[in-house]
Amino acid sequence: MKKTLLFLLLISFAAILTCFSFTAEAEEDDKQQGLTEEEVYDELQNNVNDGMDAIDFTELEEWAKEYGTDKTFSQGVKELVQSVLDGEFSLGAEQFTSIILNAVTGGIKTCVPAFAAIFAIAVMTSMMQGLSSGFLRNNTREIVHFACYAAIIVILSVQITAIIVRVEQTIEGMCSLMQAVFPILLTLITALGSASAAGVYSPLMAILSTGIGTIISSLVLPCFVAAVVLSIVGNMSSNIKLGRLTKFFKSVAVFVLAGAFSLFAAFLTMQGLAGGIADSISIKTAKFAVQSYIPILGGYLSDGLDLALTGIILIKNSLGLVSVIMLFAAVAVPIVQTAVFTLGLKLTAGLCEPICSDKRISDLLYGVSKNTSLLTAALAGMAFMFVILVMLIIGTCNAGVI
């Protein structure tokens, strides 16, 4: 019995020594076969290059030619993404300031002649009514007012029509950009193993790229046009009372915009965070399983998986940043010019108020300016939703890999 126990103890001790020696040899082999820093960088660069070659940038290149500026996208979208990956791209405060100043300058140059003509007509109306107050009847004075009022309406109609066309083109451009960049980002998210995030973002991308744009074009713009028309008609004569109806259409547009953006932002935030957490856990679990349950080669496979996923993450984040830059290039000028037009209307209304004895002209200008702010809010809100969605996509799965 004692000999048997002694024999078993010797066998156990020999097995333990064998395991320790095998582990030591494996660790020594790992150290000998481990990749150097340069080799890791080269492999990561190869993964990034392969991923960039696999992406089709045709739609984004076409979008940049149609809606972008020559300076920003002169080298092409793919080259811009590559420069972000290499750390060579820089867009400082001076460039942003230059874009905004150019937009403000362009808006002022476009609006100043129209506002100067409106102000001149208002001054002429006041002078004619003052000179003819003792000689002409009230009916004749009203005819003079209607003639001048009609001239102002023609000038405003030309400016407002141009703004509506510009807003529609900008919304169409934003929708086209979303439809071009979102499929690529979804593919990259799926390649990272983010099934939950891809399932969450896919319907949200469809809603933002088509649904909200359709809401703005089909509801907000018609309400804006109706409010402007009612403001014009309501200020033609003191006997016409359309102020409350004008406020109704404006309230409908505000309610639609606020409701759509609030619901979209709330749902996007909750679902996006939940999907990102679930995918982060799943990626960490997959890496642990590869490293722990595959003998000998598990560590190497896990390191290779890290490099592959890191390359995809770099492409995803760089493309997301470039898409935000493309959005800014398309939206900044229309938003700034619409805001300049709104401020110009308010300034002209303020200048006309003390000059004109009849306040209908100043009320018209101020009423139209309050309605044009809807267009600025619509463009800025849709662009902001795009930025939020892209930022969530950029933040998805990063914690599970890097």
How far apart, in whole angstroms, are the C-alpha atoms of residue 129 and residue 134?
A: 9
pLDDT band at 271 (very low <50, low <70, confident <90, very high): low
How far apart, in whole angstroms, are the C-alpha atoms of residue 298 and residue 87?
A: 33
- 274-287 pLDDT, tens digit per residue, is 555 545 544 454 44
- Domain boundaries along the sequence of the chain: 72-395
| 330 and 77 Cβ atoms separated by less than 8 Å | no
Amino acid of residue 100: I
- What's the pTM? 0.76
Distance of CA 354 to CAs 132, 133, 191, Å? 19, 18, 66
Give the chain's mean pLDDT: 74
- 214-238 pLDDT, tens digit per residue, is 888 888 899 999 999 988 888 877 7
The larger pLDDT score, comparing residue 357 to residue 66, is at: 66
158: Cα within 13 Å, side-chain hemisphere: 12
Strand (E) or helix (H) holding 368 = helix 360-395
Give all strands (DSSP E) within 237-393, no chain letters.
none
